Amino acid sequence: MSRICQVTGKKLMVGNNVSHSKRRTKRRFYPNLFMKKYYLQEEDRWITLKVSAAGMRTINKNGLNPTLKKAVEKGYLKNY
């Protein structure tokens, strides 16, 4: 399974490690992802999502259903 947030679409970024002598080597920046269970009241079931910390805050702010609908519209989530 890839390291992509199913709510916000955050994924791996690539950058450089920069040493004291300014020599650059490639490195990866991973998103802060968690496997989290949420309860869908409308369907009376639990769903498991791979979400980032920012995605959790988005769900807390806007609610689960509106957030999932936006994620499906943007293509981050196929079905839930």
CATH number at residue 36: 2.30.170.40
Contact 34, 51 (CB under 8 A): yes
Amino acid at 8: T
Among the listed residues 40, 20, 17, the one whose alpha carbon sits nearest the alpha carbon of residue 28: 17
Contact 50, 35 (CB under 8 A): yes
- Does the predicted TM-score (pTM) go above 0.85? yes
1 — pLDDT class (breaks 50, 70, 90): low
Encode pLDDT of 31-45 as tens digits.
999 999 999 999 999
Does a structural domain hold residue 4? Answer: no
At what angle are helices 64-74 and 53-62 packed, to 10 degrees? 120
Q: List residues bridging with 35 in a β-sheet.
A: 50
pLDDT at 11: 97
Does a structural domain hold residue 25? Answer: yes
Average pLDDT over residues 2-23: 97
**Could you tell me the residue range of the domain that residue 67 belongs to?**
13-73
